[in-house]
């Protein structure tokens, strides 16, 4: 498949495909004139890239999910760790949403007098509402 067909079928722009190739996430199998060509399996690789990005993995993390021959080689512990991280993010965002909803309807004369809003402010000041820095993804050994 040429790059235009891959772009059309995958939904990724050709510029992203060229970037992913430069980063080593995908590889072309040749050229048809000036256009890169790809094996049909590249669509599965791109689907994994899209899923990884949607889950919040970095491109470096996603790159580690591929073996040198382009097949998926995903460490299950890393997936579990990402799921735990997402659970924490969901918990944090729900608490923030609930605090903001309460502040929006709080009967206190001002937000400065609303105890719930003040707790939300203290949590933000303590860094409790910002995401934690993730540990790098571990690459599965080929033993």
Q: Per CATH, is 3-63 categorized as 1.10.1660.10?
A: yes
Residue 133 pLDDT greater than 60, yes or no: no
> What pLDDT score was predicted for residue 131?
64
Positive or negative, the CA dihedral 2, 3, 8, 12 is: positive
- pTM attached to this predicted model: 0.71
Q: Are strands 35-37 and 30-32 parallel, antiparallel or unpaired?
A: antiparallel
Render pLDDT for 134-143 as a digit per residue (tens, 0 to 9): 554 444 444 3
Tens digit of each residue's pLDDT (9 = 90 or more) over 92-105: 899 888 888 888 88
What is the tens place of the pLDDT at every residue in 2-36? Answer: 999 999 999 999 999 999 999 989 999 999 888 89
Q: Is the dihedral of CA 76, 67, 137, 92 positive or negative?
A: negative
Q: What is the mean predicted confidence (pLDDT) over 116-125?
A: 83
Instruction: Give the pair of three-digit tokens for residue 41.
Output: 């399996």
Residues 6+ apart with CB under 8 A from 139: 64, 75
Percentage of residues in the chain having pLDDT higher than 70 = 91
């Amino acid at each position: 498949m040429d790059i235009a067909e891959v772009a059309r079928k995958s939904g990724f722009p050709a510029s992203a495909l060229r970037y992913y190739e430069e980063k080593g996430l995908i590889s072309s199998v040749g050229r048809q004139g000036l256009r890169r060509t790809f094996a049909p399996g590249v669509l599965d690789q791109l689907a994994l890239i899209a899923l990884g990005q949607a889950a919040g993995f970095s491109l470096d993390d996603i790159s580690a999910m591929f073996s040198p021959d382009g097949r998926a080689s995903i460490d299950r512990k890393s997936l579990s760790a990402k799921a735990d991280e997402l659970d924490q993010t969901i918990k944090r965002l729900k608490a923030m949403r609930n605090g903001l909803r309460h502040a929006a309807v709080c009967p206190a004369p001002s937000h400065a007098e609303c105890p719930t809003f003040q707790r939300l402010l203290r949590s933000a000041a303590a860094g409790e509402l910002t995401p934690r820095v993730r540990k790098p993804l571990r690459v599965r050994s080929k033993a």
